[in-house]
Structure 1
Amino acid sequence: MLSSTIAALLLAASTSAYPVENPIQLIQRAPSPGVVITKCSQPGVLALAYDDGPYQYTSALVDILDKAGAKGTFFWTGTLYGCIYNQKAAVQKAYASGHQIASHTWTHSHMGSMSASQITTEMTKVEQALVNLIGKKPAYMRPPYLETGGQFLPTLKGLGYNVITDDVDAEDWNNKTPAQSEQKFSSAGAGGNGHIPLMHETYTGTVNTLTPWLINWAKTNNLKLVTVAECLGDPDGAYQAGNFTGNGQSTC
């Protein structure tokens, strides 16, 4: 009888040490480098993510997002639509506005068939360009054509990159109209963890029609428009640690 009474008292004491109103908070962990991530890790968000720039529409897209108080992620190449250095003003504008700048490789080639050395060159040339332009090395990237085979993932893990693909494909690259792309989001719905869509800032319909529609869709569904890093609980990890200065040219 005495032992059971003591046990009950000990249980009560241990319970009172952790009151319900102060639950233990779980630690948010950053994504793992070299692991493919397809969607957000939390609900109530939408991560607008654009490939293939910088391009002639970049500045206008930044204005649209800024006016709505939205944040986006730009997966940029070095040479796909002209030299990245030729878009210096747009690149710096997007970064200064608080959007996430990420890599889409230097030449937008098929990474799955490349050697580790070739993949590394593709990544480091974008890094150097962005260090020269904004003083930051990205920690996130999206592979061209979403190809992640061969030496790609092991190499990206060694380089410390978080690899992003998508869970909603707007198919603007496949000649889908903005209205057809909108239907894809409506079908995917706003429930569950947030979407990371595949879109391209190189199409006027995506910039001027689909993006405003998505901003309104997010508002209607009480979704916060955030960067990819934010939607993964990694707001401080969008760029690789270190103080980088432009000390070399990755020429186009």
Structure 2
Amino acid sequence: MLGEQIFTLLLAAAAAPTALAYPAVDPITFLKRAANPGVVISKCTNPGMLALAYDDGPYQYTSQLVDILDKGGAKGTFFWTGTLYGCIYKEAKAVEKAYKGGHQVASHTWTHSRMGSMSAANIKTEMTKLEQALVNLVGVKPAYMRPPYLDTGGQFLSQMKSLNYKVITDDIDSGDWNNQSPQQSQQQFQRAGASGMGHIPLMHEVYPGTVNTLTPWLISWAKQNNLKLVTVAECLGDTEGMYQVGNWTKQQGPYSC
């Protein structure tokens, strides 16, 4: 219903005489570009940007990665799990450091399982346990997530829509998860190029080569190509929608996985 109302308003605005004073708006394109819950997004909607996006943490390299990004004037997006590389609560300092540094914290589910074959109830549990952990640690509930294995089948997307999550995949695969060297990963970015709408790459903060070699190279490559290094939300023009709105309650007592 809301989408239909926006569509009608845009059509009316485009037809109005005063619209001649402003750039033409294509309502179909506008609606497709919006960062909406339950819709798969694989590429930025703003040019001149590169969204450095990392999966599978937090892990032993998180704090170091934050330092590298900060030194390079870059903002990153961290798609975190609850238990994949140890309990998220054991990395509380690194989680807080990333968030307070202005980087985007987002969901990669609690256990990093395939969502496409899960029941609606299990999908919800995967999401709510991770979001509660982030509420406990930094006080925010993410509005962005990236599905493990990029699996968006079954009931997954309908559940993401009901839980108000924007679903991110990628348009460049660094291949670090598949034993690609940082130098091989660099070639993926060079082939993709720096023109057009900005890229959202698939990278993983759990590999030292990605943290210590690929990321510094990307910071340099972006500067050489006049690309702004931003969060996923910013590259989609959605900085105000980075987190879900509400007053979230922290759990009482010691946190655990």
Instruction: Name the structure 2 match of 1:62.
Output: 66
Instruction: Name the structure 1 match of 2:199.
Output: 195
Aligned length: 236
Question: 1:47-92: per-residue Cα shift (whole Å, max 9, x none)?
Answer: 0000000000000000000011110000000000000000000000
**Residues 172 and 202 of structure 2 are in contact (CA less than 8 Å); yes or no, is this contact kept in structure 1?**
yes
Counterpart mapping for 1:69-218 below 5 A: 69-218=73-222
Structure 1 residue 247, shift from structure 2 partner: 2.4
Instruction: Name the structure 2 match of 1:6.
Output: none
- Taking structure 2 as the reference length, the TM-score comes to 0.87
Structure 1 residue 243, shift from structure 2 partner: 1.9
- Taking structure 1 as the reference length, the TM-score comes to 0.89
Structure 2 gap ranges (5+) = 1-15
SS of the residue aligned with 2:152?
Answer: coil
SS of the residue aligned with 2:116?
Answer: helix
Paired-residue identity, %: 70
Question: 1:183-225: per-residue Cα shift (whole Å, max 9, x none)?
Answer: 0000000011000000000000000000000000100000000
1:42 partner letter: N
For the pair shown, the structure with the greater C-alpha radius of gyration is 1
CA distance in 2 between counterparts of 1:143 and 1:122 reads: 11
Q: Within the alignment, does 1:31 sit opposite 2:35 as a pair?
A: yes
Structure 1 residue 241, shift from structure 2 partner: 0.2
**Residues 176 and 185 of structure 2 are in contact (CA less than 8 Å); yes or no, is this contact kept in structure 1?**
yes
Structure 1 gap ranges (5+) = 1-13
2:152 partner letter: T
**Residues 51 and 229 of structure 2 are in contact (CA less than 8 Å); yes or no, is this contact kept in structure 1?**
yes
Q: Is the deviation greater in 89-98 or in 24-33? A: 24-33
CA distance in 2 between counterparts of 1:228 and 1:131 reads: 20
SS of the residue aligned with 1:50?
Answer: strand
**Residues 43 and 192 of structure 1 are in contact (CA less than 8 Å); yes or no, is this contact kept in structure 2?**
yes
Query: Given the superposition, is the C-alpha separation of residues 35 and 19 from structure 1 closer, same or farther in structure 2, using an over 3 Å criterion?
Result: closer
Instruction: Name the structure 1 match of 2:9.
Output: none
**Residues 54 and 76 of structure 1 are in contact (CA less than 8 Å); yes or no, is this contact kept in structure 2?**
yes
**Residues 128 and 250 of structure 1 are in contact (CA less than 8 Å); yes or no, is this contact kept in structure 2?**
no
